[in-house]
Amino acid sequence: TAQRQQHSPSPNSATIVIWQSPIGSFYLNQFSSLSIMSTLERVITQLSAGKVQGCKSALPNGNSYCLYRGIPYAKPPVGELRFRPPVALERFEEEVLDCSYERSSCYAYMHFPPTVAVSEDCLYANVYTPIDPTEIERTIPLPVMVWIHGGGFIAGSGDAAIYGPRYIVQEGVIVVTFNYRLGPLGFLYFPEKGIYGNMGLKDQRFLLKWVQENISKFGGDPDNVTIFGESAGGASCHLQYLCESSRKYFHKAICQSGVAVTVWTEQMDAVSKTRNLAKFVGCVAESDDEIYETLMSAPADDLIAGSEQCVSDLDRSIYRIFAFSPVVEPKESEDPFITENYVDILRNPNMTNIPLILGLTSNEAICFIQNLSVELYANDAKLFVPPQLAVPEDRLLQVGEEVKRFYFENRTVSSENLQFLLDFVSDCMFVIPVCVASELHSRYQHSAPQYFYCFSFEGKSNHIKAMFQNDYQLEGAAHADELTYMFEASFFTTEEMDTDSQEYKIRKAMCRMWTNFAKCGNPTPDEDQLDILWQPVEKIDPDQEKYNIRALDLNEPSKMVDHPFEKRVNFWKRLFEKYGGNYLLHRALQ
């Protein structure tokens, strides 16, 4: 678990944080960045809650931009507001709020990247705009892109240590990053005492509302907002897409390596986990009132530490490595988010016309190597059967052998053949669910254009792959590898690239396509100078048998391909037909 400092850094403080994690120790020196910020030209913008003072700096192309960090977008969710939906902040305490530095991140079980401070008071946004506040009245409003960070609903923040958006901003858009509540503070569910869960998702929705009310003050167009995110951030974008009360706040969505129907998204046995957490933090009674009082008064650190103990054996068996995540709420919930099954919502014909991008990396599971025991899979073929697949107990071994044979053919399950195990894990955690979402969208959402990609580029900035693959020489791009091409990250030292390099070209292409989509709903419009036409996924009749995902292979050069995972998807379709019915409707692998 990360070692944490429980204070917000002042812009004049020098804070060195050591981060200890299962993958090593890292250091972050805030002094240099804060010192640089203190020398930059200041700019002031008037918002609905008061004035914010940011800084002016330079984009990689030399143009200027303004950055405002640590803007509170809701009241601190502390005290009686713990476990409650976010509440509007009417006025800032200061006449002019200093927004030259990032505030506290939310409490998390593990901090990746390391953070300088954590607190329950964590609902802050960062705005990056190429428009000077003195020029807003004379400038055409720009498209807005709101980034939702990943981290399994238990980790992460919107900070620039990973998500510095200068490469995106210089394409002519405004970028907003932000924090939302995580772990039990964001997703604990106890309806017996009026705690209906999804606080983190409601924070996201509240931030989108804040954007609608304030982004014009930064030169943004509230009528042209795109949400985009990766992993749990991608799943969050998809959940916002499915949420009727959220859709009025945005106009396009990009879901990277995460959708609502991934196996790790929806929380199971939510009330049981809440009761178990109360025991871990010292509740000896079992009444709802005493459990509630314990959870409301427990230190946030204890809640986060205890949440690891709430992960069930079923969770682990289906690669859900964290306890607290989104739930489907009852209709009587306070400020409900989603009250229907995700698949049922997707099957509601033409529920929206919002354009959508879905995508994956070519070798998602590389970053989970250290959590995989090859020996366990080698010794027990039944582990190849997802628990939700309705296979009779006396046939588990037979089906497990069938799955193992599909992935490994005649090879042994061993470290030498690790890639085939990674294919299996990638399919369970990401590939099959994202393809399910894509197919449901194509069959039922004919009013909404859909684009699909697979990021397969391998280059010097594939930092996630380099961090996790150890001595293995694996092909393809790992989960989250695309982020260090889209974003500038001090944590990974994403240096400037030679303009003739493949890395520079893939960065330029991705940022251009993502911002084109934000501008007009088409990643490769005719008037752009890109060398590729990204074709949308075809719309098909709900009862049509054959389905093909026409996808963009994001590489250098990029090209259109037919269904990059077709063989693996078809295998699972056949297996579901044999044991569980239509794989589009079944909860297994979802």
Of 524, 523, 482, 532, nearest to 503 (Cα)? 482
Amino acid identity of residue 231, one-letter, is: S
Backbone φ/ψ region at 256: left (φ over 0), alpha (ψ -120 to 50), beta? beta
Apex 522 CA angle, 517 and 524, nearest 5: 100
DSSP string, 215-282: GGGGTEEEEEEEEEEETHHHHHHHHHHH-HHHHTT-SEEEEES--TTSTTTS-SSHHHHHHHHHHHTT
Alpha carbon distance 116, 113 (integer Å): 10
The catalytic position among 102, 171, 329, 364 is 364
Strand, coil or helix: 320: coil
Alpha carbon distance 521, 253 (integer Å): 9
The answer to whether 540 and 443 are in contact (CB under 8 A) is yes
List of residues 6+ apart from 125 with CB closer than 8 A: 71, 72, 73, 158, 176, 177, 178, 179, 207, 210
* Tokens, residue 532: 């590729």
Is 213 one of the annotated active-site residues of the chain?
no
Strand, coil or helix: 212: helix
Alpha carbon distance 89, 106 (integer Å): 18
Written in H, E and C, the secondary structure of 462-480 is CHHHHHHCCCCCCCCCCCC
Phi, psi values for residue 173, rounded to 5°: -135, 165
Is 32 one of the annotated active-site residues of the chain?
no
Strand, coil or helix: 587: coil
> What dihedral angle (degrees, nearest 10) is formed by the CA atoms of 506, 512, 516, 517?
40
List of residues 6+ apart from 405 with CB closer than 8 A: none
The answer to whether 388 and 583 are in contact (CB under 8 A) is no
The catalytic position among 8, 104, 231, 461 is 231
Helices (H), 60-198: 160-163, 166-169, 183-187
Alpha carbon distance 484, 514 (integer Å): 14
Alpha carbon distance 385, 403 (integer Å): 7
Phi, psi values for residue 19, rounded to 5°: -115, 120
- The set of catalytic residues is 231, 364
